[in-house]
Amino acid sequence: MADNINLKELITDNSYNEILRVEADKIRRKYYGNKVFVRGLIEISNICKNDCYYCGIRKSNKNVSRYRLTESEIYSCCENGYNLGMRTFVLQGGEDLYFSDIILCRIVNNIKNKYPDCAVTLSMGERSYQSYKNLKSAGADRYLLRHETADICHYRKLHPMDMSLENRKRCLYNLKSLGYQTGAGFMVGSPYQTVDNIVSDFQFLRELDPEMIGIGVFIPHHYTPFRNYPHGDIELNLKLLSIARIMFPEALIPATTALGTVSPDGRERGIKAGCNVVMPNLSPLKFRKSYELYDNKICTGEESAQCIECLKKRVESVGYVLDMGRGDYIGKE
């Protein structure tokens, strides 16, 4: 409990911001040096059976032009990324029922066979234990599934009744038990979020002990019920990233696209605050704008090669280096 009071104080008192940032940077340098790992993000489908109130591709948004990449389009994205030097591919999408275990396992298997030196990360939402098991056997290395909020009351304000926090958490524990490098996380400044909710998020993270942690500002999307809410506070986001780095020294923590969307130097500041991952977009240009989770999402107009060049400059401008390797979790000391 005393621990929680301290955490709450750290979160609310802005005089700690710089101290936390400096400490977080010291820790990341001790564990990962000045490396920032690259993950090629492939947004394979914007079709989703869920209706999360915050999300631009929720099923009730009838204004989205829906797409699903073909298998050959997915493989071309990987080829493009591989030729650019990337060694991790992240397949992300809405919960699109088309991607049965048979289809998704075949895709993972084909990518792993063609590029045995690469890691495959999935971010395809909630699936059964058996499904995660099948995908792991097919070669998937990592899975990203933000818990979004660890507080049940807050969870209910962000999601319709057919979704549950219990299942979200169960999925995360299943992923861990199956040996995935597992990613959890939450949005900063999502509607109705309180400081106590954030404390619960860190408590949950401590319990789960994930290898990857995604913490990014909420940004409203004009075709969602949360269209009139403000975006999350970037300073708070940066501070929470530093706290995450200090609590989880070995974690892989991305400087999110959302950070870069709310502030032109958001990702650079994220890196300085303790982040050690960036995720350039490898999706085909013609579909990028359709994977609009929130308004004004950046990097929807550039070729992947340009994205990499731009990120390289950004990362180097603050004294770090892009690392194109697989960038696996280094394990506990």
CB crowding 114-142: b at 16 or more within 10 Å, else e: ebeebbbbbbbbbbeeebbbbbbebbbbb
Residue 218 within binding range of ligand SAM, rule CB under 6 A:
yes
Segment near ligand FES (CB under 6 A); pick from 26-34, 49-57, 146-154, 221-229: 49-57
Residue 221 within binding range of ligand SAM, rule CB under 6 A:
yes
Whichever of 295 and 328 has its CB closer to ligand SAM, that residue is 295
Please answer whether residues 235 and 189 qualify as being in contact, where contact means their C-beta atoms are separated by less than 8 angstroms: no
Report d(CA 273, CA 24) in Å as an integer.
6
- One residue of 40, 94, 216, 232 binding ligand FES per CB under 6 A: 94
| Tokens 């993000």, located at residue | 41
Residue 327 within binding range of ligand SAM, rule CB under 6 A:
no
Binding mask 132-161 for ligand SAM (x = CB under 6 A): -------------xx-x-------------
What is the DSSP pairing of strand 40-45 with strand 88-93? parallel
Residue 293 within binding range of ligand SAM, rule CB under 6 A:
yes
Whichever of 27 and 279 has its CB closer to ligand SAM, that residue is 279
- One residue of 187, 252, 275, 311 binding ligand SAM per CB under 6 A: 187
CB crowding 208-247: b at 16 or more within 10 Å, else e: bebbbbbbbbbbbbebbebeebebbebebbbbbbbbbbbb
Token digits for 261? Answer: 């969307």
Residue 55 within binding range of ligand FES, rule CB under 6 A:
yes
Token digits for 291? Answer: 């994977």
Residue 270 within binding range of ligand SAM, rule CB under 6 A:
no
Beta strand residue intervals within the chain, DSSP E: 35-38, 40-45, 88-93, 119-123, 142-144, 181-188, 212-217, 277-278, 321-323
Report d(CA 238, CA 267) in Å as an integer.
10
Residue 191 within binding range of ligand SAM, rule CB under 6 A:
no
Shortest distance, position 180 Cβ to ligand SAM, whole Å: 14
Residues near ligand FES (CB under 6 A) are 48, 50, 52, 55, 57-58, 94-95
Contacts with ligand SAM, residue ranges (CB under 6 A): 54-55, 92, 94-95, 123, 125, 145-146, 148, 187, 216, 218-219, 221, 258, 293-294
